[in-house]
Structure 1
């Protein structure tokens, strides 16, 4: 039976669209809003770059963690569980600051220790760009959450199909590639999309490092014009346009996957 909320007409979307339309008209007709939008739009590329690169790397790392958590080897399972439980308990902002000002200098020092005997030029901490420190922090943090998404999806596959594949002579990799993952991805995609949307919002935290994303440009712009209301309205509008659009696309994808399952 379809839940009542799924049959409801999306009045919330009409209200949101109306508010967005009013804001867009205001931006187009008001020179000040247009100027603020032109300034903040320069940060959209940075926001999307940080999110896309961090999410791709976090997904790969998260998949490895999920496979380790489901491994036959006790040591791998314990290491994966230790990582997931510890990292998920640390706020992203704290992790961001720790990676930027503690882990990054440690990595630079480790690199210098490796290249010093070879006579190669040593690196300096300032050579580690802040944007990549921010990306590394998001990768470390979100990999722990994405690992649980992958693990739950992989576990959801019927064990009988795996046993049948092994009985047919498929190797472990072939079984994973041909049987397990294609079925698990249907379960994984919706929550994975939610994590991507969450990362877009959490990418605003990189502004504490001075990375010129939408939030940082909004802070700089507001500090210069003292028009906080108008400036942060535009900041909120840009994030809402990205997240709401992706949320709607994710719902359509989820509905399509559900129809395929039903078929």
Structure 2
């Protein structure tokens, strides 16, 4: 009976993955290469396609880096006793619950050319909407929770005794963070970066509202893909989708690569040194965290 239940569970799980993930991805690849390699290459190497890919990857990288820095800081602050901590912690998840088109509309109302903030930046020559800056802002907004939620569990499970011991030895707060805290939360930081980057690559709702979608200037890959589909170019849309899937997969594989070498001590050695080495420990005897 137990063996039958295992087989049933395995069959149900495999069927679920097959229907939800494997078959849709297979359909995308089949459509992308339906007219051969030459048609696929023409679809993804045209001037408009290359411009959309370049803009998408650049803005997604910038957004992911911003969120890694800001998200790590926010997660670290949540470990301290701050006023309104429960409410602030709940607000972090708002970008997940707000529809992305509504998020884009919110950003237009706040940073658009007729808003006080938008007009102030326009007087200084900076366009916060209908520009690559707007794309980055939209991507940062919709992907903000990923790093925070990836780092928080690691910070909560971290042994505080190591930080206290380092402080007792005279390590400055930044040295404690670099040598103890950051290597501990590094898997969460890498996961947050990978998730933010992959999610930003395919962001459509918020970006289409604020970018202006001008070909060769502010048209990201997701919007370009949608335009191809609207023009009944299913093979071209599928080809662009394959490229986006490949870039996201490369980001995921690179994350696994870094985590693997971190477990072997290679990545950790880049950020930490023994606390009993060097002059900074003995020269700062009165330091507290």
TM-score by length of 1: 0.71
Aligned partners of 2:204, 2:101: CA distance in 1, in Å? 10
Residues 198-257 of structure 1 show CA distances to partners (whole Å, capped at 9, x for unaligned) of: 22223685245423112222333444xx44321222122111221222223333333333
Cα contact 1:149–1:191 (8 A) shared by 2: yes
Higher helix fraction (1 or 2): 1
Cα contact 1:47–1:214 (8 A) shared by 2: yes
Residue 202 of structure 1 aligns to a residue in which SS? coil
- Alignment partner for residue 105 of structure 1, among 112, 117, 123? 112
Q: 1:125: Cα distance to partner?
A: 9.6
RMSD: 3.7
Aligned to 1:189: 190
Aligned to 1:3: none
Name stretches of at least 5 consecutive residues in structure 1 with no aligned partner.
Answer: 1-11, 116-120
The alpha-carbon distance between structure 1 residues 75 and 232, as it changes in their structure 2 partners (threshold 3 A), is same
Cα contact 1:154–1:181 (8 A) shared by 2: no
The alpha-carbon distance between structure 1 residues 157 and 233, as it changes in their structure 2 partners (threshold 3 A), is same
List aligned pairs for 1:10-49, cutoff 5 A: 23=32, 26-30=35-39, 33-37=40-44, 38=46, 39-49=48-58
TM-score by length of 2: 0.66
In the alignment, structure 1 residue 218 sits paired with structure 2 residue 225:
yes
List aligned pairs for 1:1-263, cutoff 5 A: 23=32, 26-30=35-39, 33-37=40-44, 38=46, 39-72=48-81, 74-75=82-83, 77-78=85-86, 80-99=88-107, 101-105=108-112, 108-110=115-117, 122=123, 128-202=129-203, 206-208=207-209, 209=211, 210=213, 211-223=218-230, 226-260=231-265
Name stretches of at least 5 consecutive residues in structure 2 with no aligned partner.
Answer: 1-20, 267-289
Q: 1:91: Cα distance to partner?
A: 3.2
